[in-house]
């Protein structure tokens, strides 16, 4: 007769213990990999905003053109409001990041709530590779209000301006 503990044969008890451990590991994996733990602003280092990126809401440099990259929750990307592939976005960013007028461009990254940090990190890496973010070409977020028309840059003393170095 097989050894029984609490009326359950040893083999069944061992299988039950293993099944419980697998279930607990599975639940733990789901909790760790859930999108709630991978949202921008979370502790995930992939979502950290580089300190040298221009903060959301700060004024544009004088005569600077703003472009917006929007990362949608499903991982798709929009450039100035239009859907764009990663390959095309990378090519567009390379064009904006080259030449003597590159400082005239600033690209803002707007991330939808719930977007996975690995996707955010991939787009930021693409921007970092194509643009010189150290000189103010990359912005976290968008402009809170549209930039003034070019004539306002020259005639309005009330408009906050930063100058190109």
pLDDT at 47: 82
pTM of the model: 0.62
**Domain limits of the chain?**
4-33, 45-155
For residue range 97-156, list pLDDT tens digits in order: 998 888 888 999 999 998 999 999 999 999 999 999 988 899 998 876 655 555 544 444
User: What are the residues whose beta carbons fall under 8 Å from the beta carbon of 60, sequence distance 6 or more?
Assistant: 66, 106, 143, 147, 162
For residue range 4-55, list pLDDT tens digits in order: 555 555 666 666 667 666 556 555 445 444 444 344 444 577 788 899 999 8
């Amino acid at each position: 007769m097989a050894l029984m503990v609490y009326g359950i044969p040893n083999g069944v008890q061992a299988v039950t213990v293993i099944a419980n451990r697998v279930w607990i590991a599975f639940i733990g994996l789901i909790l760790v990999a859930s999108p709630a733990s991978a949202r921008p602003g979370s502790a995930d280092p992939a979502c950290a905003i580089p300190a040298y990126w221009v903060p959301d809401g700060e004024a544009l440099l004088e005569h600077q053109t703003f472009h917006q990259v929007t990362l949608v929750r499903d991982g798709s990307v929009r450039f100035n409001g239009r859907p764009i592939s990663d390959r095309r976005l990378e090519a567009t960013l390379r064009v904006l990041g080259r030449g003597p007028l590159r400082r005239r461009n600033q690209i803002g990254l707007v991330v939808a709530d719930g977007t996975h940090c690995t996707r955010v990190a991939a787009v930021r890496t693409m921007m970092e590779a194509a643009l010189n973010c150290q000189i103010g070409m990359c912005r976290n977020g968008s402009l809170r209000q549209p930039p003034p028309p070019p004539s306002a840059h020259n005639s309005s003393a009330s408009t906050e301006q930063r100058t190109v170095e």
